[in-house]
Amino acid sequence: MKSIKTRIFIFCIILLAGCGVASADTGKDMEELRLSPEMSAVPLDERESLLKILNDAVKAGVPSTDIALIVKRGLARGWESKSIKESVLLLTKTEQQGLPLTSLLDRFHQGQAKGVPFERVSASANKLTEKLSAADGMVGSLMRGGMKEGKGDEKGKTIQTVARAMERSVPDAAVMQIGAKLMKSNSPLSKLDAAVSTMTNAIEMGMQPAQASKMMNMAIDKGYSETDMMMMEREMFSMMRDGATMNDVMRNMETMMNSGGMGFSGSGMGGGAMIHNGTGMSGSPGMTHGGSGMGGGGGGMHGR
Amino acid sequence: MDNDRELIHKLLDGGLPSDETAALMKRVNSDPDLLEEFTLLKEAVTVIEKSERKQASASFTSDVMRRLSSGAKAERKGWRNFFFGERIFRWNMAYAAAALLLAVLTAGGIYNFRSGGQIPYSALDKSAVTVKFNFYSPDAKSVSVAGDFNKWRTDAGVMRREEGGIWTIKIPLKPGAYNYMFVMNGDAWITDPEAAAYHDDGFGYKNSVVRVDKL
């Protein structure tokens, strides 16, 4: 008798702890959402169908924390439940296609936080999903060709980087050209990620896609490492900040690469954020000016 | 084998027919383990039979029955003994490992519950680096930093006002590049003019970028 009681007791404890841990994330988020004041504002019939879609999304693997946040923010921003359903369905579909979700979730979070209307968020998210799908095909073909994936979710990261590049009008051919070159030199996927990221950032700084592509091809031919590419990008940004034109920047980069030296070594931090590492500190003590001047030094202010 | 043990007990209790006894003894004699067990049990029975017998009191049966009279009470006592009765703690590596695993899972669950899953970075991560964000605005009533590291929550990175109208916050971030903006007075999104780089946010505005290197 005692033995049975002990077994029942231990079983119950384990069951409770297991259930508690397993549902701590999913259950808590969804239950909080179901009981939230935002949700109670949704008509009952709509609420049931919305909750079903949300549960399906969680089952598909979309993180419940993100879903809850998107729904709460959407309702708080006055999005109709139809719009929220559409958003969550897009996330579910993307997850089911095996595409990385991070950048898409970020697009929703960012758009909602900044008060961007649903139509614009939806258009941007749909466009991103298309690009993710195309990027997945490109990265997949390079991997099938022999490009190796390193630690962690390098594939997912690279797909998102390529998708961002495509959003910035980087031609598919430019990405594939770089990919093919790196594949030939047995470079890992992380190097493609770094190269495409640098190329995209250069385009965002104002460089023409053709110029950026030429520069990256040159860097790869010269054997630039991922760190070199990052430092190259910082150098470009620094020059731009100092008032150099894009042509000057491009010329400088070409000269630097042709001179044989990488020209980029060591590490450091720039920008408005200070980096602390316990006892040490590196980086420039940047300070952001804004407020009274409504955004200082090119910061710009977007009040919505 | 187990059946033979049962038969042995039956035999010692004197309840086994003679034909079955003969068959059983044949099997017992052919099995050394069974024979040893049988011998020991028989010796025990002999010792008990030879020992002094005490006469039970006349009220013995009624005393026992009185104690057993209330089934519910006995059940309650059973549960009380179950929870509060002293016992010897026995353990083995499997139980210890299971307990440890349970403790870790529970701690993880509690941590996740407390953080609300809001912060994708972890101060406990050894690779995390503390990044200090600064914003100068003497007139601001509130300032926070929102970025992909806190799911763009304007209530997560609330900055503290320091002397001279400088608002600051320290956030532990793992190595990587992060997009962020400052949010002044709850609704004005401001790009950091001193950022390390800028990225389009997909909606036509510029996010500031902070890069955290491996140290």
Query: In chain B, how many domains are there?
Result: 4
Distance from CA of A205 to the nearest CA of B (A): 8
pTM for the structure as a whole: 0.67
Let me know if residue B172 belongs to a domain: yes
CA–CA separation, B169 and B157 (whole Å): 7
Distance from CA of B29 to the nearest CA of A (A): 36
Contact residues, chain B, for A24 at CB < 8 Å: 109-110, 112-113
Do B207 and B134 share a structural domain? yes
Inter-chain residue contact B151 with A128, CB threshold 8 Å: no
Helix axes A118-144, A102-113, angle to 10 degrees: 160
| Interface residue of B106, B113, B191 to substitute, partner A, most A CBs within 10 Å | B191
For B113, which residue in chain A has the nearest alpha carbon?
A24
Do B200 and B138 share a structural domain? yes
Task: Give the SS3 label for residue A109.
Answer: helix
B142 touches chain A (CB under 8 A): no
pLDDT of residue B49: 82
Inter-chain residue contact A275 with B170, CB threshold 8 Å: no
Do B192 and B135 share a structural domain? yes
Distance from CA of A55 to the nearest CA of B (A): 18
pLDDT level of residue B104 (50, 70, 90 thresholds): confident
Intervals of chain A under pLDDT 50: 1, 263-272, 276-304
Let me know if residue B82 belongs to a domain: yes
Question: Does ipTM exceed 0.90?
Answer: no
Inter-chain residue contact B82 with A5, CB threshold 8 Å: yes
Do B206 and B150 share a structural domain? yes
Contact residues, chain A, for B199 at CB < 8 Å: 201, 204
Do B183 and B145 share a structural domain? yes
The b-or-e profile of A45-82 (16+ CB within 10 A means b, else e) is eeeeebbebbeebbeeebbbbbbbbbbbbbbebebebe
Inter-chain residue contact A272 with B192, CB threshold 8 Å: yes
Do B92 and B82 share a structural domain? no
Let me know if residue B21 belongs to a domain: yes
Do B98 and B163 share a structural domain? no
Say which CATH number the domain at B155 has: 2.60.40.10
Structure-model confidence comparison of residues B99 and A82, the more confident one: A82
Let me know if residue B164 belongs to a domain: yes
Do B69 and B22 share a structural domain? no
pLDDT of residue B51: 82
* B136 bridge partner residues: A289, B166
Inter-chain residue contact A273 with B210, CB threshold 8 Å: yes
Inter-chain residue contact A288 with B148, CB threshold 8 Å: no
B151 touches chain A (CB under 8 A): yes
Predicted confidence (pLDDT) per residue in B9-66, tens digit: 888 888 888 888 888 999 899 988 889 889 999 888 888 888 877 777 878 887 887 7
B122 touches chain A (CB under 8 A): no
DSSP code of residue A274: E
Let me know if residue B178 belongs to a domain: yes
* B199 bridge partner residues: B207
Let me know if residue B122 belongs to a domain: no
Do B61 and B46 share a structural domain? no
Do B208 and B169 share a structural domain? yes
Inter-chain residue contact A114 with B203, CB threshold 8 Å: yes
Range of the domain at B102: 88-117
Let me know if residue B93 belongs to a domain: yes
Inter-chain residue contact A237 with B196, CB threshold 8 Å: yes
Predicted confidence (pLDDT) per residue in B123-147, tens digit: 456 778 899 999 999 999 999 999 9
What does the DSSP assignment read for chain B? Answer: -HHHHHHHHHHHTT-S-HHHHHHHHHHHHH-HHHHHHHHHHHHHHHHHHHS--PPPPTTHHHHHHHHTS-HHHHHHHHHHHHHHS-------HHHHHHHHHHHHHHHHHHHHHHHTT--SS-TT-TT-EEEEEEEE-TT-S-EEEEEGGGTT-TTTSBPEEEGGGEEEEEEEE-SEEEEEEEEETTTEEE--TT-SEEEE-SSS-EEEEEEE---
DSSP code of residue A98: T
Let me know if residue B124 belongs to a domain: no
Residue of B110, B191, B210 with shortest CB distance to A299: B191
Residue of A107, A267, A275 with shortest CB distance to B202: A107
Inter-chain residue contact B213 with A275, CB threshold 8 Å: yes
Do B72 and B29 share a structural domain? no
Inter-chain residue contact A275 with B132, CB threshold 8 Å: yes
Do B197 and B170 share a structural domain? yes
Structure-model confidence comparison of residues A143 and B2, the more confident one: A143
